[in-house]
Structure 1
Amino acid sequence: MLITPDLRLDTRAVPFARRLAAFGDRPALLTRDGEVSYRDLADRVAQAARRLGPRRRLVLLAGANTVDALVTYLAALAAGHPVLLVPGDNAEAVRSLTDAYDPDVVAAPDRDGGWTLHERRAGSVHTLHEDLALLLSTSGTTGSPKLVRLSHDNVQANAESIATYLGIRPDDRAATTLPMHYCYGLSVINSHLLSGAGLVLTDLSVADPCFWDLLRARRATTFAGVPYTFDLLDRVGFADMDLPHLRYLTQAGGRLAPDRVTRYAGLGSRRGWDLFVMYGQTEATARMAYLPPERAAGRPRAIGIPVPGGSFRLEPHPDWPEPGTGELVYTGPNVMLGYAENPADLALGRTVGELRTGDIGRRAPDGLYEVVGRVSRFAKILGLRVDPERIESMLADRGITAYCAGDDDRLVVAAARSGVDAGHVRRLVVKECGLPPRSVHVHVLPELPRLASGKPDYRAVRDLTPTDAPLPTGPVDVARLCRLYAEVLDRPDATEDSTFTGLGGDSLSYVEMSLNLERTLGHLPPHWHTLPIRELLQAPGREPRKAAKALRTLDTSIALRAFAIVCVVGSHIPVFHIKGGAHLLLAVAGFNLARFHLTSAGRRERVRHARRSITRIVVPTMAWTALMLLLTEDYGLATLLLFESFLPPREGHVAPFWFIEVLVFLLLAVTALVAVPAVDRLERRHPFGLPMALAALALLTRYDVLGLRDRIHLPSAFVVPWLFALGWAAAKASTVRQRLLVTGAALLTVPGFFSGEPAREALIMAGFVLLVWVPSLPSPGPVNRVAGLLAGSSLYIYVVHWQVYPRVDQFSGWLALVASLAAGVAYAAVAARVARGLPVLPPLLRRARA
């Protein structure tokens, strides 16, 4: 079934991406907030395909487990556009591959968390082979320009093969536990959509209790895991969970220890689900072999049999003289076209006919294949494929001579002693390959180990004894816990206010951190990964009276402004992904407008106060923009005039000051309204009813009832006013009934605004509920002062951070966040002094001394 008539009939495409509508109203995508049927998905894919156009272009897609990313991926496959799939959470990989391959279209989240197609040109500057469908980095080398070229037939054939041996049924539902850009995670998506099964879209870790709530709520029947996933499953008590809909688990991405295979196969047999252990490589699109579930318990060391349509042969290897062994060579319709190392290679057709896996294997008498060694130096560590030669080259570029070797659990780096700092080397390696810090062992040696021939002795490197500093011991206090966090996460900046997630902890370091914490504390506090270190030690019997004395109260709107601006800047860098701050600030702005300007003062005074407030926003913004216009190429005249977001979007560009432009527009509109005597009287007579009526009117553009988006560019200033109006109404709600009404309006209208981003919508709704129902929050005095400083400087932080963080985040994202906040606070102080006609330098010096 052709999903769009605009496509030429002779355009090569991936068949299953064109046949989505055939599954009708069956659920295709399931999230925490709703479902998308196959029919609806096909419509969205068709719309995106029309946007991509009938002329083949190279599409770079920032992969993510979201509806937007998946729709774009399927649209490109269906329309015949080759997709270069990169990790959406790795800005450096996106930048480097964009520079290396010059894509015609870049599909990625924008700075404000939306989804954009940056069409860099109408056609293509590349010669794209007619068979080319997909370009993937091998796992663990996502920033490398060396890519795997996959054809339409590769993608289709491997999806069909996997669906066959797993027996995927239309009523199956797979949770997306792996990244979309990783070939294993992508194979889950392809095989289930081919079969008409459902995908439970999530980026939650199996270590998160919310993942299991979602799994049960959406009746998921399967999920996929790499070896480390099974460490997490042990940690969270998976064996005792009640999962009545679970039908099978799949495992790939590296060797799972035989005892673990035996144990999970036995567990599945008792609980009524199967374990599929699988073997594959990106060069084979995904899978080459699988171990039939009934053989797993008795043959846990085997990789199994070839997938349907594939076959193995053993090529004798001189370094492995053992009879019956040889390099595994795979043949099948899923074998890649070949590699690409530069854009010219995109014109190539098939350059390989079979795949040399680099693994030494043997075929046992029972017909099952086993892997007994490796030919090349590539290592698969915690499921990530790591190229030691690439790491050595990276270190050499920085003047560090080193040898690297790895096994299933760790990467060992031996560096020549010449003033080299082991911690610095480890941080470079961690950034390069994406491994958790505790899996990288660095040894600084007087002389690097070599064989008699003078060649590197990698076996000696691999056998080096770990020399990590011992984990801290002694009395359990905050300082010891900070040292523990610093050691495990390699974050010497850990403080008592740090959290596991705030310090960059992830699923790979979750197990080790939780084990060490439990050993140190004697128990594991609930939700420990979100608690500041100091709170881990709080005794259950702490006296309430003493605690109360240490707390004061903080105005909720101030707390939300401070929180939101930190979220905005931190997500732009990004050091975390807490989105929704700017839209929450719009609601707070409406709230504060009502509180501070729509008072009992006379109409003219109201207008005068509002004008002054607008001036305090516009003048410092334009002053900074004018300065940057002179010193940099960051801005243009439209930015200076605060009008850029009202213009049609340009290729690859997002208006940086859209929030300020929207805010100024809304403030001007409300000021103009209340300047009219009749409206002023109406507002005084119906202080709650007027903003609620305006919010209802604004829903016409929020839901695009008139279909304007299909005909014209609809700026944010015309889409988001309902949030501002609801904030205004919240400030004027004087009864429980009114507060319930405005809360209900927010909870009903925010969901769905950011498709596929429930966390973002949840943040906005949670902040709004606090704004309506909780006038103040308990807070220590120091927090009050910091929050007040950040809230008061939030406009200035927003204005200056665009120039600050790009110049600092190359050293540290967290430093970039602190620098952006500090620069905004400093600019606020300058603006305040200038506004009063006072010298600027003295207060800045006083702040610096403080």
Structure 2
Amino acid sequence: MNYNDIHNDFRLNGDYLDKNKLIELASKLVKSEEIYEQDFGSLIFQWFDEKDFILLTTSGTTGTPKQIKLQKQAVINSAKATGIHFDLKPKDAALLCLPTKYIAGKLMFVRALVLGLHLDVVNPSSNPLENISKTYDFVAMVPLQVLNSIEKLHLIKKLIVGGAKLDRKIKEQILSLNSHCQVYETYGMTETITHIAAKKISEVFFTALPHAKISVDNRGCLVIDAPSVNSEKLITNDLVELKEPNQFKWLGRVDNVINSGGIKLFPEQIEEKLTPFINNRFFVIGKEDDILGNKLVLIIESEPYVIEPEIFDILSTFEKPKEIQFVTKFKETATGKILRKDNLR
């Protein structure tokens, strides 16, 4: 499929638009007062220009955001892989409620073009289903949007969640609904053109999509070989446990691991244990210490309050925080990921 091709069943907000009509629409969108419409117009222009790549900005989770080139054919290949894995059919209704400035939002548009989806575009707010009453076959969201949409998840048949780890409390709320909505956590990054693996929220292990092969390096970190979307093997900083050749459990980021008194502590696993007991957003991080080398610090997004020491009974001796800090508002990336080190005092 050529990147200029549009599936016959493609619809945008109810209308079939060919290339010329889409470019005509983009000319109006880039003049809009709404940032999300300007970004969407820019995406349309980029997709249908003469170049064989699109430019986009990484999220900046692990460093300074940077511009990278993605080959349009690789983006099409990613869209097709998603369609196969999630059994998406032409004329399936899809909702684009993510910013098209970033890869996840761009891919929803390209999937619609390539797979013939009927795509509706709304403001990528924190509560995207607020004014929605129709049913959708396929939607992608970030965790905050899911949290604010729980009462309306019955309107969605398949929901993929990415951008950050889905909190255990949110998972429990979703599972208690007994809704027909199938919710999947996804694993991926800009360089893999969104997800290369997914799992239902009731599952522990991610399953790689057919276009991706996985292995681990000598640090125990995930290595991704997905030549249809990236010609180079990607060596990540994500510590994983392999189960099958195509399945892995995410343990945490190697650059977040804390060596405290000679014991390796995995922040993401400690946070998972504490989630039921802390209502505000929080994380744990290492802070330099003369005795331990690094001590474990709990940082909570809140005005200071008294924490009952019993909540730490679930943790082992080494996992218990040696210091607690409160931050009124977390510093984040543009896509809402917490910048851990920038919030430590």
State the TM-score bracket (shorter-chain normalisation): 0.5 to 0.7
Cα distance in 1 for residues equivalent to 2:34 and 2:290: 43
Larger Rg: 1
Closer, same or farther in 2 for the Cα pair 1:206/1:228, shift >3 Å?
A: closer
**Counterpart code for 2:189:** Q
Give the AA of the match of 1:289.
A
- Superposed, 1:48-197 pairs within 5 Å as 64-66=35-37, 69-81=39-51, 133-140=53-60, 144=64, 146-197=66-117
Structure 1 residue 336: deviation in Å?
Answer: 4.1
In structure 1, the residue matched to 2:238 is 359
CA distance in 2, matches of 1:142, 1:367: 25
Secondary structure of 1:205's aligned partner: coil
Q: What is the SS of the residue equivalent to 2:255? A: coil
Distance apart, 1:73 and its partner CA: 2.0
Out of 4, 7, 11, the position equivalent to 1:28 is 11
CA distance in 2, matches of 1:467, 1:77: 39
Q: Aligned equivalents of 2:248 and 2:48: distance in 1?
A: 36
1:721-780 Cα shifts (integer Å, max 9, x gaps): xxxxxxxxxxxxxxxxxxxxxxxxxxxxxxxxxxxxxxxxxxxxxxxxxxxxxxxxxxxx
Distance 2:303 2:26 in 1: 54
What is the DSSP-based 3-state SS (H/G/I as helix, E as strand, rest coil) of the residue aligned with 1:254? coil
Structure 1: tracts of 5 or more residues without a match: 1-13, 51-61, 82-130, 318-325, 338-352, 379-404, 411-436, 443-447, 472-486, 491-506, 509-850
CA contact (8 A) 2:10 2:118 kept: yes
Q: Matches of 1:368 and 1:193 in 2, distance apart?
A: 30
Gaps of 5+ in 2: 28-32, 258-265, 272-279, 306-326, 337-345
* Paired residues of 2:283 and 2:300 also in contact (CA < 8 A): no
Give the residue type in structure 2 aligned to 1:43: N
SS in structure 1 of the partner of residue 156 of structure 2: coil
Counterpart in the other structure of 2:249 = 370
Residues 196 and 209 in structure 2, CA contact (< 8 A), matched pair in contact too? yes
Counterpart position of 1:19? 5
User: Normalization by structure 2: what TM-score?
Assistant: 0.68
Coordinate RMSD, CA, aligned = 4.2
Displacement of 1:47: 5.4
Change (3 A) 1:265 1:363: farther
Q: Cα offset for 1:170?
A: 2.2
Residue 122 of structure 2: SS of its match in structure 1? coil
Aligned mate of 1:315, from 201, 205, 217:
217
SS at match of 2:216: strand
By how many angstroms is 1:222 displaced? 3.0
User: What residue number does 1:279 align with?
Assistant: 187
- Seen in structure 2, the aligned counterparts of structure 1 residues 43 and 142 have a Cα distance that, compared at 3 Å, is farther
Q: Distance in 2 between matches of 1:242 and 1:281?
A: 25
Q: Secondary structure at the match of 1:372?
A: strand
Determine the structure 2 residue equivalent to 1:226.
142
Q: Pick from 300, 305, 315: which aligns with 2:207?
A: 305
How far apart in 1 are the matches of 2:182 and 2:170? 14
CA contact (8 A) 1:138 1:282 kept: yes
Identity rate of aligned residues, in percent? Answer: 19
The answer for the alignment partner of 1:814 in structure 2 is: none
The one-character-per-residue Cα deviations of 1:522-576 (angstroms, maximum 9, x if unpaired) are: xxxxxxxxxxxxxxxxxxxxxxxxxxxxxxxxxxxxxxxxxxxxxxxxxxxxxxx
* Cα distance per residue 1:70-107 (max 9 Å; x no partner): 344233223333xxxxxxxxxxxxxxxxxxxxxxxxxx
| Matched-pair contact (CA < 8 Å) for 2:215–2:222 | yes
Residues 576-623 of structure 1: CA deviation (Å, up to 9, x unaligned): xxxxxxxxxxxxxxxxxxxxxxxxxxxxxxxxxxxxxxxxxxxxxxxx
Q: CA deviation at 1:441?
A: 10
Q: Distance in 2 between matches of 1:230 and 1:242?
A: 8
Q: Which of 15, 20, 23 is the equivalent residue of 1:43?
A: 20
Match of 1:542 in 2: none
Q: Is the 1:173–1:221 contact (alpha carbons within 8 Å) kept by the matching residues of 2?
A: yes
Output one character per residue of 1:23-47: Cα deviation in whole Å (capped at 9) or x when no partner.
1xx56222xxxx43233xx223455
> For 1:7-61, what per-residue CA distance to the aligned partner results, in whole angstroms no more than 9, with x for missing partners?
xxxxxxx82x4112x41xx56222xxxx43233xx223455899xxxxxxxxxxx
Cα pair 2:75 2:229 within 8 Å, conserved: no
Of 288, 302, 316, 1:449 maps to: 288
Q: In the alignment, is the contact (CA less than 8 A) between 1:335 and 1:355 conserved in 2? A: no
- From the superposition, tell whether residues 279 and 201 of structure 1 become closer, same or farther in structure 2 (CA, over 3 Å): same
Per-residue deviation at 1:488? Answer: 5.6
**Using a 3 Å threshold, how does the CA distance of structure 1 residues 265 and 289 change in structure 2: closer, same or farther?**
farther
Aligned to 1:328: 222
Deviation by residue 1:426-477 (Cα, 9 ceiling, x = unmatched):
xxxxxxxxxxx976999xxxxx72467xxx95x52x5256596437xxxxxx
Change (3 A) 1:465 1:150: closer
| TM-score between the two structures when normalised by the length of structure 1 | 0.30
More strand as a share of residues: 2
